[in-house]
Structure 1
Amino acid sequence: MTASVIDPRKFIDEQPMTRIQVLIVALTVLFSAVDGFDVLAIAVSGSGIMAEFGLDRAELGLVLSMELIGMAIGSIVLGGIADKLGRRVMLLSCLLVMASGMWAASLASSIETLSAVRIYTGLGIGGLLSSTNAVVAEFSNHKQRGLCISLMVIGYPLGGIACGAIGHAILGAQGASWRDMFIVGAWLSVALFPITWLLLPESVHWLTRVQPQNALARVNHALKKLGHTGVASLPITRALNANRLQAKSSILDIFSPALLAATLLMTLAYLFQMLTFYYILKWTPAIVVQMGIGAASAAGVLFWVNVGGVLGGLSFGFLSRRIGLKPLTMVILVLTSLAVALFGQSKPQLAELSSLAAAAGFFANAGVSGIYTLMAVVFPTHVRATGTGFVIGMGRAGAIVSPWLAGILMQQGFERGDELASVLAYVALLMGLCSLVAALCLAFLGTKHNQATEQAVA
């Protein structure tokens, strides 16, 4: 029997999550894992790419940055398109882009081709990430939303762990089999396409707000697939009354007076957290090697960074059910700063390095989980993918700059004649302070008025 009055979005927000909703959240974890696999696949393949194309380290660094540039563009541009066309079509399209891009990378015959293909692949990953955060928020209920977003975020370090294991199995000593890493990545995206096609309906939140052609039938189809009761009619929304105007202005709505401050503060918080996060992710192996520990052991330390990241994301998800989201995230960002500074003080002992690296990964990824969860709260449905995409896209500048900035700081220290231990401690302190700046940005962030904005535009 159909309900005639209730807003269909309340079925999702207020009722217990069904098995299909849980499976959709698990699917978003896999989306995030593909991101982690792909970012680290190019990193672990670096030696093979350098040898085959005769690159120096500076040229390799440029190739490594190509994907991040594509991700930044994809997050901003495709996130806005997802708010117009829907979550499902964008996710499926991005999976096709990622699969074809990774496969093309395995066939690249020149460094110029490889660079272009990496930008193309990054576009798909950027669009996937901005849409994925919206999907988690719109397919989970209020009670479990923080936990679900945290689970999605831990997919990234899980993908990193998988990448390390697969790379260890298929890459030779000189990385000559680097193309195989991208073939694996392509098949991962291909495998996700039919699963997404069969499992994921269009978002009830998006359908109810935008109300495209056959909206009622599509909403009831989605509700039935998710295990909920259908509705007899859809509520009249402001989006429906001003649908054409809204379609033209939705991308700019994140810069409206109601959302401008939140957009800027979230972007700055994410950017500064990325500066810290990617310092740990990208520089840990090199730091361990500089301390006189072998490359294989250095890879093991990076493994513990990712393990710490998984545990940090899980812990944040459970804590967010009992502690306020904003204060919890701020405390974790402060602890990230301290953990990274302590990592810089580590002695050249493998056990100590592994423990401190795991702690840094724990708090750094928990902080990322907090910021992603705040995005779902701050941005209302009609600009959720747009706002998330903009924050991720601009924040990726921190990911691009972080390894370069840390390298400059280290080089300056060595040129002054400082000892290795002093340089590492100094750089870790400065890079860790970026998380402290991220916490300061969140201190000025308001969320109540943004929840009011959600209701006003519903």
Structure 2
Amino acid sequence: MATGVTDPREIVDSGRMTWRQIVVVALCVLLNGLDGFDVLSISFAAPGIASDWGVDRAALGIILSMELIGMSVGSILLGMVADRVGRIPIVIVSLLVMATGMTVAALASGIVELAVIRLITGLGIGGMLACTNAIVAEASNARYRSAAVAIMAAGYPLGAIVGGAIASSLLVDGTWRDIFWLGAGMTIVFLPIVLLVLPESIDLSMRRFGPERALDKVNKSLRRLGHRVVEMVPPVEVVAKADRAGLFKGDMRRVTILLTVAYFFHMTAFYFILKWIPKIVVDLGFEPSAAGGVLVWANVGGMTGSLLFSVLATRMPLRRLMIAILVLSFVMIAAFGLTSGGLDPLKRAAAIAGFFSNAAVVGLYALIAAAYPAQLRAGGTGIVIGIGRGGAALGPVVAGFLFASGFGLPLVAAAIGLGSIVAAFAILGLPLERPVARGLAGKSARGAG
């Protein structure tokens, strides 16, 4: 770095969290909430779809997983593109894909058509997830980075709670198609807000354009974050494209593989709860609107777990905290499968299972954001989430076939919940030193465990 030239990345890292940075994090919380509702919209609609079109459990499990497959592809491809062209263009494209997909889903006339629509919608959701994680990590200072990422992840259950409450009320007098109309409208609202508020990655601008061409772009981002502008940008290594190979070099290879394994297997358990609760509750004899209420409680527990985790992550070794939460996630998912006695016990069991399973997801996002430097962050997030979403798609499908084969809820819940145990062993294998320690609360490596 040239003598006397202030690195704008250091301004953000070492400075206080300004109100504009808090607004950026809050917007990403809402964008993640939009993702949460869009993903779960098919869960709220599932009982009505099964009733209208006569869909059995095995086929419904495939439909419930289609947008998760799209999310896998979208996270990988759009995450890599975001490391090349910037975060904001990909966020805009993702929102347009999501809005279009929700609109067309509301007009679907058959199960195959709906499956294809949900697959395409998942591309946008995956691209959004890869970008928001990176944006929050890069817009936050070093002290609060992990907490900010954890709070961002809490937006997912928040979207499911708010959207789910509205969806449940829509189902009282409306149809499952109204849920998709709601999602389309909410998605469109965010387009102008994103263009006005979100900053582009400072590090990425510096590496893409070099000191002279990057100055205006860097200062625009600094202003959007509420920090002073700079007169010069220090020279850094210019990269023409995302370094895909960097994700599998040295320590990064081990980190990428283990995070992907952990995310993949925990997602099988997490999405079993989120995708199957409405259908399970309806099959127990309750109305679809009541089933949606149980799913809302699962997400209330999930949001509570997310927020508590964001506090604990600044005070406890992250890796050890994650292992404990993953083990408890398995226990509580298995316990949900044993719940009986009416709607209230189901709500309590769903909330507790949601608490631990979603807290584990938040921890995985924090680990992912901390593991990669800026030039690899969206691509790394995309790889881990993209491949990991295969587990999200696998969980509901395997559960559907197990149910169709005659296995009961207790055995299915325990079997699928084992994914959290596999994830715990993967986290146990992560290295203690950087890169996993980077970005965690405080300036020491204690956050890595």
TM-score of the aligned structures, taking structure 1 as reference length? 0.88
From the superposition, tell whether residues 52 and 334 of structure 1 become closer, same or farther in structure 2 (CA, over 3 Å).
Answer: closer
From the superposition, tell whether residues 35 and 255 of structure 1 become closer, same or farther in structure 2 (CA, over 3 Å).
Answer: same
Q: 1:256 aligns with which of 245, 249, 257?
A: 249
Please state if 1:282 is matched with 2:275.
yes
Can you give the 5+ residue segments of structure 1 that lack an aligned partner in the other structure? 415-422
- Give the deviation of 1:128 after TM superposition: 0.7
From the superposition, tell whether residues 220 and 294 of structure 1 become closer, same or farther in structure 2 (CA, over 3 Å).
Answer: closer
**SS of corresponding position for 1:94:** helix
Aligned pairs for 1:29-428 within 5 A = 29-50=29-50, 55-171=55-171, 177-211=175-209, 214-237=213-236, 239-240=237-238, 243-244=239-240, 247=241, 250-291=243-284, 295-410=288-403, 414=407, 423-428=408-413
Structure 2 CA distance for aligned equivalents of residues 356 and 36 of structure 1: 20
**SS of corresponding position for 1:99:** helix
- Give the deviation of 1:153 after TM superposition: 1.2
Q: Deviations over 1:20-70 (max 9, x none)?
A: 111111111111111111122222223444455564544444333321221
Worse overlay, 432-441 or 206-215: 206-215
Q: Deviations over 1:89-127 (max 9, x none)?
A: 111121122122222223334544433322222111111
Q: Verify the 8 A CA contact 2:164 2:293 in the aligned structure 1.
A: no
Percent identity, please.
46
From the superposition, tell whether residues 263 and 93 of structure 1 become closer, same or farther in structure 2 (CA, over 3 Å).
Answer: same
Note the aligned Cα RMSD (angstroms). Answer: 2.5
Q: Which residue of 2 aligns with 1:418?
A: none
From the superposition, tell whether residues 374 and 123 of structure 1 become closer, same or farther in structure 2 (CA, over 3 Å).
Answer: same
Structure 2 CA distance for aligned equivalents of residues 412 and 106 of structure 1: 31
Please state if 1:25 is matched with 2:25.
yes
Q: Deviations over 1:255-277 (max 9, x none)?
A: 22331111110001001111111
Structure 2 CA distance for aligned equivalents of residues 352 and 180 of structure 1: 29
Q: Verify the 8 A CA contact 1:8 1:208 in the aligned structure 2.
A: no
- Give the deviation of 1:291 after TM superposition: 4.9
- Give the deviation of 1:77 after TM superposition: 0.4
Q: Verify the 8 A CA contact 1:32 1:159 in the aligned structure 2.
A: yes
Structure 2 CA distance for aligned equivalents of residues 53 and 278 of structure 1: 23
Worse overlay, 357-366 or 223-232: 223-232
From the superposition, tell whether residues 98 and 326 of structure 1 become closer, same or farther in structure 2 (CA, over 3 Å).
Answer: same
Q: Verify the 8 A CA contact 1:278 1:402 in the aligned structure 2.
A: yes
Worse overlay, 159-168 or 10-19: 159-168
**SS of corresponding position for 2:251:** coil
From the superposition, tell whether residues 87 and 117 of structure 1 become closer, same or farther in structure 2 (CA, over 3 Å).
Answer: same
Q: Verify the 8 A CA contact 1:292 1:348 in the aligned structure 2.
A: no
Aligned residues: 436
Worse overlay, 250-259 or 392-401: 250-259
Q: Verify the 8 A CA contact 1:378 1:447 in the aligned structure 2.
A: no
From the superposition, tell whether residues 127 and 447 of structure 1 become closer, same or farther in structure 2 (CA, over 3 Å).
Answer: farther
Alignment-mate amino acid for residue 384 of structure 1: R
Q: Deviations over 1:186-239 (max 9, x none)?
A: 2211110110111112122322333357201211122123221222322222x3
Q: Verify the 8 A CA contact 1:288 1:348 in the aligned structure 2.
A: no
Structure 2 CA distance for aligned equivalents of residues 157 and 288 of structure 1: 19
Q: Which residue of 1 aligns with 2:443?
A: none
Q: Verify the 8 A CA contact 1:258 1:453 in the aligned structure 2.
A: no
Can you give the 5+ residue segments of structure 2 that lack an aligned partner in the other structure? 440-449
From the superposition, tell whether residues 182 and 346 of structure 1 become closer, same or farther in structure 2 (CA, over 3 Å).
Answer: closer
Q: Verify the 8 A CA contact 2:165 2:296 in the aligned structure 1.
A: no
Alignment-mate amino acid for residue 12 of structure 1: V
- Give the deviation of 1:362 after TM superposition: 0.5
Please state if 1:431 is matched with 2:416.
yes
Structure 1 CA distance for aligned equivalents of residues 179 and 278 of structure 2: 20
Alignment-mate amino acid for residue 206 of structure 1: L
Structure 1 CA distance for aligned equivalents of residues 259 and 113 of structure 2: 35
Q: Verify the 8 A CA contact 2:168 2:289 in the aligned structure 1.
A: no
From the superposition, tell whether residues 171 and 453 of structure 1 become closer, same or farther in structure 2 (CA, over 3 Å).
Answer: closer
Structure 1 CA distance for aligned equivalents of residues 405 and 101 of structure 2: 38
Please state if 1:441 is matched with 2:426.
yes
Q: Verify the 8 A CA contact 1:154 1:314 in the aligned structure 2.
A: yes
Structure 2 CA distance for aligned equivalents of residues 367 and 26 of structure 1: 21
Q: Deviations over 1:300-357 (max 9, x none)?
A: 3222111100100000001111112222111111221222233233332443332222
- Give the deviation of 1:389 after TM superposition: 0.8
Q: Verify the 8 A CA contact 2:46 2:278 in the aligned structure 1.
A: no
